[in-house]
Structure 1
Amino acid sequence: MRILYHHRTRGRHVEGVHIRGIVGALRELDHHVDVMSFPGADPERETDTAASSGRGRIAGLVTRLPGIVFEAFELLYNAVTLLRMGRAWRHAAPELIYERYSLFLFATVWLARQRGIPLVLEINDSALVDRVRPLTMKALARRIEGWCLRNATGLVFISSYFRDIAGQAYGDIAPSVVSPNAVDLPRFDPARFDRDRLRAERGLTGRTVCGHIGAFAHWHGMDSFVEAIANRLDGVPDLALVFVGDGKTLPAVRELIAARGLSDRVLLPGRVPHEEVASWIACMDYAVLPNSNHYGSPMKLFEFMGMGVAVVAPDYAPVAEVIVDGHTGWLFPRGDATACVERVLELAQRADERKRVGHAARAYIASERQWRNNAEQLLTLVPTGASA
């Protein structure tokens, strides 16, 4: 089947990982997949040409515009989408459109209905939730979103929470599946790495290592977690913390670590390329996710578990859909920083428990949460005749 994957993201970081995962899995299932990206944002290319890099910088400037202006540009992008789709379809019309849903983008749904082409929307964002960038035209965004979710052929939600609130708000939405994130298991395979060598190179030999990979943003709770555990590390002398990533709260965390004299216990390497993430996870005995949100499906959760590294995580519904407490990870009451710290410190002394749960986490990922599982699931939403 000829599939067009359309997205309006910059195709970087987690977004790019997800796009490449789905596209690659569909191709492994013998489908022809073309990707239509935001100009200058190609998630399949490892390096940018000068031209695409320039367009990417322009896209970055657009994202910093004031709310009402930025949202006006989002609306105008519907015209761009119609023009690009029209040009592309003159050469070869797709049999299925798979779109990563973006706010204010309705042109693809409208065009698919006009042409009688099945369209499946993947819902990672919504006008119904609190977002990093607040909405100015919230009422209009919700009206457009409701129309899109009712008129698509099918919907892929990354969590049950998303599906539940969409159904309550918009009524009779299209048939749907819940498909959390996934992982490229061959790439995230602990057997690929010389763990002892990596730990020696990074000063972690003989340590029990608890890690985290992701953005240092307030809603992820890394600053609060480090502050809460800093005074407790003396009681667990073998425990080292490795927190990979950067963001707004990283400078404050660095200052706290330096002030407490913990630089030899807490390693902060900053952001690393995604191709190096697995090598850092290979150094860890277990991991921690101090906070999340009601609707998200954290990519890092799946990458940890794929490497056989189980996670201490808050009991938000999307996380609890993946982690069974004491079997594929450990849950603590969301918002309870003390409970999170206590569980991390307790597990530092329980090597057998970490290994047992880590093995179960990888087995779960292998059986249910590879990108191929997601691709097979989304294809169940396509009418039989279209997938022939």
Structure 2
Amino acid sequence: MRILYHHRTRGRHVEGVHIRGIVGALRELGHRVDVMSFPGADPEHETAAATSSGKGGLAGVVTKLPGVVFEMLELLYNLVTLARMGRAWRTAPPQLIYERYSLFLFATVWLARRRGIPLVLEINDSALVTRVRPLTMRGLARRIERWCFRRATGLVFISTYFRDIAVQAYGDIAPSVVSPNAVDLPRFDPARFDRERLRAERGLAGRTVCGHIGVFAEWHGVDGFVEAIAHRLESVPDLALVFVGDGKTLPAVRELIATRGLADRVLLPGRVPHDEVASWIACMDYAVLPNSNHYGSPMKLFEFMGMGVAVVAPDYAPVAEVIADGRTGWLFPRGDAAACVERVLELAQRADERRRVGDAARDYIASERQWRNNAEQLLTLVPDGAPA
């Protein structure tokens, strides 16, 4: 089948990983996939510089505009989409459109219905949830979203919670599946790495290492976790913490570590290219996710588990869909920083437990959460009569 993957994102970081994962899996299943990206974005050829900087390009300029101006440009992008889709149809008509849904974008759904082509929307964002960038024209965004969710051929939600709030708000939406994130297991294979050499090079030899990878943002709770555990580290002298990434709260975390004299116990390497993420996970004995949100499916969760590194994580519904407490990870009551710290400190002294749960986590990923699983799921939404 000829599939057109359309997205209006910058195609960087987590979103780029997801795009490459789905596109690669569809191609492995024997389909021809063309990617139509935002002008200047190329998630299939993301460079290390782009991964680490997070700046530059047309998208970088546009995202700095005031809210209402930014949203008006999002609406106008429908005209760009129609023109680009028209050219694609003339050169290589798709038999299926798979789109990473974006707010205010309806042109693809309208055109697919007009041409009689199946269209599946992947829902990672919504006007129904709290977003990093607040919505100015929320009412209009929700009306467009309702129209798209009802008229697409199918919808792929990243969590059951996400689908439930969409059904509650919009009623009779298109047929849907719940497809959490996944991982490229051959790339996230602990057998690829010389663990002891990496740990020695990074000053972690002889330590029990608990790690985290992700953006230092308020809703991820890294700053609160470090503050809560800082005065307890003396009770577990072999424990080291590694927090990979950067963001708004990183300066506060650095200051806290310096003030408490914990530079030898807490390592902050900053943001690294995605190609290096697995090598950092290889240094870890277990991982921690201090906080998340009600609807998201954290990519880092799957990458940790794929490497056989089990995670201490909050019991939000999307996380609990992936982690079976005590079997493939450990859950604590969301918002309870003290409970998170207690579990991390307890596990620092339970090597057998960490290995048992880590091995089970990797087995779960291998059987259910590789990108091919997501690709197979989304294709179930395509009507039987669609061209193959």
Normalised to the residue count of structure 2, the TM-score between the two structures is 0.98
Contact preservation (8 Å) 2:48, 2:273: no
In the alignment, what sits opposite 1:119? 119
**Structure 1 residues 48 and 3, CA gap change in structure 2 (3 angstroms):** farther
Quote the RMSD (CA, aligned, Å): 1.4
Q: Counterparts of 1:183-198 in structure 2 under 5 Å? A: 183-198=183-198
Contact preservation (8 Å) 1:109, 1:148: yes
In the alignment, what sits opposite 1:36? 36
Q: Counterparts of 1:223-238 in structure 2 under 5 Å? A: 223-238=223-238
Question: Aligned residue pairs: how many?
Answer: 385
- Which sections of structure 2, spanning at least 5 residues, go unmatched? none
Cα shift readout 1:140-168 (whole Å, capped 9, x = no counterpart): 00000000000000000000011000001
Q: Counterparts of 1:19-168 in structure 2 under 5 Å? A: 19-47=19-47, 56-168=56-168
Cα shift readout 1:74-117 (whole Å, capped 9, x = no counterpart): 00000000000001110111000000000000000000000000
CA separation in 2, counterparts of 1:81 and 1:56?
22
CA separation in 2, counterparts of 1:199 and 1:104?
47
Measured after TM superposition, the shift of residue 40 of structure 1 is 0.2
CA separation in 2, counterparts of 1:181 and 1:210?
22
In the alignment, what sits opposite 1:252? 252
**Structure 1 residues 264 and 323, CA gap change in structure 2 (3 angstroms):** same
Counterpart residue type for residue 334 of structure 2: R
Normalised to the residue count of structure 1, the TM-score between the two structures is 0.98
Contact preservation (8 Å) 1:41, 1:56: no
Cα shift readout 1:130-149 (whole Å, capped 9, x = no counterpart): 11111000000000000000
In the alignment, what sits opposite 1:265? 265
CA separation in 2, counterparts of 1:59 and 1:159?
27
Counterpart residue type for residue 321 of structure 1: E
Measured after TM superposition, the shift of residue 119 of structure 1 is 0.1
Cα shift readout 1:286-321 (whole Å, capped 9, x = no counterpart): 000000000000000000000000000000000000
- The answer on 1:333 being equivalent to 2:333 is yes
CA separation in 2, counterparts of 1:225 and 1:374?
32
SS of corresponding position for 1:188: coil
Q: Percent identity?
A: 88
Cα shift readout 1:310-342 (whole Å, capped 9, x = no counterpart): 000000000000000000000000000000000
Contact preservation (8 Å) 1:82, 1:107: yes
- The answer on 1:342 being equivalent to 2:342 is yes
SS of corresponding position for 1:385: coil
Measured after TM superposition, the shift of residue 46 of structure 1 is 3.4
CA separation in 2, counterparts of 1:35 and 1:163?
26
Counterpart residue type for residue 86 of structure 1: G
CA separation in 2, counterparts of 1:46 and 1:285?
29
Contact preservation (8 Å) 2:101, 2:121: yes
Counterpart residue type for residue 39 of structure 2: P
Measured after TM superposition, the shift of residue 57 of structure 1 is 2.1
Measured after TM superposition, the shift of residue 386 of structure 1 is 1.6
